[in-house]
Structure 1
């Protein structure tokens, strides 16, 4: 029997760790601030009650109260540094006009001068001017207690003390700002690395999908169409059925070999930068046309292009474009015919694959262009084959267009010749 208390959801240790991890740094910072405030107040009080040998630095009675008053506002020096500095200067001036220099008040001036340059939200010019004004006031304080001797070494020491405190505050602020900037740059760099890693993963997935399509789709299409031929010819034309089964066996063997090569490359440690698909080219056109002829597609070829000068990348892309165009012609075309034209045009090779369409063609009218990025998405083909082909053609700075005119489907691919060196 389940105890009543067991129905409660277990505590989330990760949430507890996050809460504790976020609260403890704040508590530690608060304790550190409190310790520094207590230390600053203690220093000011000590300088107020210490028995200095020089009578001019001794404050008594109500003057001691005035000299210690800046200690009250010291905890505010981070949020209101200008106010804390003004109070310390005012108390120092009041005591000086009474004929005494108050070391405690002047120490408070130095502490608050540090806070003005380190914590104030004002711009740097105003912070420096504030400290300079405080130094001038401290320089003039001995006018009454020291009978106007502003160059007395004791007075100059007090001024140096205030200026040094302001400089240290400015240095501390600059260091914190530099550290914050470096941290921000590190955070941005880490985010950029994460974004780049995600982008690389997406690109690699697209690349693998494209290569898998290039390796498998054509052979699977051949197998599917040959299976249909074998099924329809099994009783009336058994020799035709045997030919179709032979084609299926050959295509299956080819696709298994290609998939094995693909898997080996994917598992290889040194496969970076290598194309995962077979690097076929237009020199293998006859073999490609023979495979389509075996499954019943008659292809008419007209060629007046210099294919020997194509770069390896353009040659491979042109071959894949021809394979994709003939595969679509076989799957969606009519009459089992297609026409291929290859010709040169302004330093590029233009490949055109044309085939008649069935009355109810699933491709429908479509138009795509990899050389024009401003076309609406609805005008692009949604087929995986043409999509992958478009990406490959774009990679070699080529263009592709598909149109349907007068009952014919036409694929026009233009790839730069990229002539090999020495041609």
Structure 2
């Protein structure tokens, strides 16, 4: 048996189809690759908690804050003025290239929706400093538990001047707010969790190959679960239905193939579109002008130049024939009354239009959703736009997911890496 680059065949459902395994195949056709699974949109990222303040055991101080009670790790506080603080400026030493997210779990029992702020400390500024300020979005005042999150890597100074030492947590910006806080955490999302139909034959420390026929790389398994593999982060993006295969081979009579083909499930609630938090500007359709607007989350403003105008997402999405999907988003505009230029786009397999909907022209954020039955596409994007009405609109929280109902917006797992 010799190693060579050779086209093999893979048994897919009820038939054999051609497949090229980049950099790893057999000159001899009497071989079969074992332990193969599919890596697709069901992949998620594993959270690592680097620090968690449970309040009944870990150190903190308060300012402009009345502590009403601390029980079972939950602190009940009321803001005395517009600048209440929980001070955790010296809690340890954390690598800023690893630590990324600050999140806290809360519920507002009394008072209005309020913003929140973090002032992080490091070797340069060991106490709160305006140069290290980060502001979160308004909290939800409905009496229910929620989790708020800040991406610290968006701050230009986070990775400079040494390790992160702690932070001052300004938990409200309004007087008279009564809140329960379950925890404040410093976390990272790193390893990728891949749901598989079977994890038999895989083990911790094993090197596996991921390939989609265009890109390929080797990664290592860091955990094996029942029906899931956790792997080290990938350096490249992969199309849905990329292959994950271990490099152990066995010789069988027949042709090159894979003996344990399994298909992953794309779970409802998972955002199938990447870059919906606008790390980079989306494609501008028909010479329109797209501008990213900073916020939490970011939005994109689209200004009309020609008759039709809109923005196009990244081309990475796989759509199954006949499957029902829901596209949801928030939009505001002063003069565009109809979103009537919406398409699923694929440069190889062609485009097709999806629903048109009426839009409010009150220049306020409003929520919309479209439900449609898909045609099969392997490298699709979504275009949101208008034809011959209005001059501009602003878009945020774009989400494509399986099923007939929209769930709250979350970025795709790839956007958290």
TM range, smaller chain = under 0.3
Larger Rg over CA atoms: 1
State the structure with bigger RCO (CA 8 A, min sep 6), 1 or 2: 2
TM-score in terms of structure 1 length: 0.22
Structure 1 or 2: more strand by fraction: 2
Q: Whose helix proportion is higher, 1 or 2?
A: 1
